Amino acid sequence: MTNILNGASRVRDNDRPFNARKALRQLVAVGLRNEVNRIDWVRQTLQRVPAHARILDAGCGEQQYRKFCSHLVYIGQDFAKFDGLGDDRGLQRHMERPALDITSDIASIPEPDGSFDAILCTEVFEHIPDPIAALREFSRLLKPGGQLILTAPFCSLSHYTPYHFCTGFNRYWYEHHLGEFGFAGLEVTENGNYFEFIAQELWRIPAVVKKARMPAGCRLVANALAVFALPLLGALGFLSWRGQKSADLLCFGYHVFARRVRKSEDGLAKEDGSAE
């Protein structure tokens, strides 16, 4: 299989000089920056896409990143079946539904080969029965040298059910499958780390108890736990500040950037392929 790392960067807080303001923010907001980190990364990465490029937001949902694409030709795609209620078993959330440019299966988008300069796909792969088929489709739709901007959780609770099919997308999954479908220059950034993830789930306990419709006494215990957990959360914040390497074990998810390179006739990356 093609080696797609090509000197790929791994963002490590341990490799950076001490920043007192960042350290304090880490202590105060431990476990609460999953979405904030992702939005910041997507916003900054979209600035790497050249002006007037045609970008597909695949599985765009509420199109929350459209506002960062004012310099681009934005095309929103979604399968448009989730109603915000789901089957009431996983975590659910009401969603606004802006007008879509394309309504289709993400693995079968009615656009010609090489139609897009960039594809954005955020927090969607866990909701696809066959995410590998989606990667294959992205490879087909991107022009040579086209940019793929992708995020997905490494570990997530069941949500938006019944459209929640898998979890566990780690860096090795991306390295293996992106190379198969003609991508190179892989850059992978961990979102959070082990300590951040544990803190996130501590914060979430009262909501989980409520969702599970547990007795009122359990809710009191959960609320009390949230108070008594504050010293533990402070300790997790301290450990997170210097513990970014723990992301190799567990983190919120990964942020991925790659480019589409030349493909062979069977759709696989050539061994000598490089970004064009």
The answer to whether residue 270 scores a pLDDT higher than 90 is no
The pLDDT value given to residue 26: 59
Work out the average pLDDT over 226-242. Answer: 91
Higher pLDDT, 154 or 14: 154
CA distances for 87 relative to 3, 70, 74, angstroms = 42, 36, 32
User: What confidence score (pLDDT) does residue 178 get?
Assistant: 97
pLDDT band for position 275 (50/70/90)?
very low
Domains and CATH numbers, the chain: 13-18+34-192+251-260 (3.40.50.150)
Helix axes 194-211, 230-242, angle to 10 degrees: 150
pLDDT band (50, 70, 90) for residue 142? very high
Residue 247: CB atoms within 10 Å: 27
What lies within 8 Å, CB to CB, of 206 at 6+ separation is 219, 222, 223, 226
What pLDDT score was predicted for residue 4? 45
pLDDT exceeds cutoff 50 at 43: yes
Asked if the model's pLDDT at residue 264 lies above 70, the reply is no
Chain segment 58-113, per-residue pLDDT in tens: 999 999 999 999 999 999 999 999 988 889 899 988 888 899 999 999 999 999 99
Residue 274 has pLDDT above 60, yes or no: no
pLDDT above 50 for 56: yes
Is cis: bond before 162, omega within 30 of 0?
yes
Q: Supply the mean pLDDT for the chain.
A: 88
At residue 262, the pLDDT reads 67
pLDDT band at 8 (very low <50, low <70, confident <90, very high): very low
Find the mean pLDDT for residues 189-214.
95
